[in-house]
């Protein structure tokens, strides 16, 4: 009987820990365009790794592999270029503000 009570208490405590809401579940950090682009870059890199693995495993013919790889590399280049532009524009006002002090 004592074991059953301990199990029930442990189960209730575990469920409360897992499903207890945070202080404000509706408050989330807002993502910037750079945050989104960095996540997208990581996804593209993962896709490139998967594509290379599957090509070596013989799942893709050479033509399909080359076309998909070129498309992913172009998308990665565009994302990286946009990240660099946004980083430069966001750091330029901060650099100007610190140089005027």
* Closest to 60 measured CA to CA, from 75, 46, 50: 50
Does 65 map to a domain?
yes
Distance between CA atoms of residues 99 and 101, nearest Å: 6
What is this structure's pTM?
0.64
For the chain, 101 residues long, give each residue's pLDDT as a single digit of tens.
889 999 999 999 988 888 776 666 566 678 899 999 999 999 999 999 999 999 999 999 999 999 999 999 999 999 999 999 999 988 866 555 555 55
* Closest to 83 measured CA to CA, from 30, 41, 49, 48: 41
Distance between CA atoms of residues 72 and 77, nearest Å: 9
Does 36 map to a domain?
yes
Structural domain containing residue 39? 31-86
Q: 22 in the Ramachandran plot: left (φ > 0), alpha (ψ -120 to 50) or beta? A: beta
Does 46 map to a domain?
yes
Our count of domains for the chain comes to 1
Does 4 map to a domain?
no
The answer to whether the CB of 33 falls within 8 A of the CB of 79 is no
Let me know the angle formed at the C-alpha of 43 by 94 and 70, rounded to the nearest 5 degrees.
100
Does 70 map to a domain?
yes
DSSP type of residue 20: -
Does 59 map to a domain?
yes
Does 13 map to a domain?
no
Does 9 map to a domain?
no
């Amino acid at each position: 009987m004592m074991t059953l009570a301990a199990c029930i208490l442990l189960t209730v405590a575990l469920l409360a820990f897992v499903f207890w809401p945070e202080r404000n579940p509706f408050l989330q950090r807002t993502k910037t365009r750079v945050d989104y682009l960095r996540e997208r870059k990581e996804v593209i890199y993962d896709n490139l790794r998967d594509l290379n693995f599957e090509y070596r495993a013989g799942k893709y013919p050479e033509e399909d592999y080359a076309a998909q790889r070129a498309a992913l590399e172009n998308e990665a280049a565009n994302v990286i270029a946009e990240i660099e532009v946004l980083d430069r524009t966001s750091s330029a006002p901060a650099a100007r503000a610190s140089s005027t002090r």
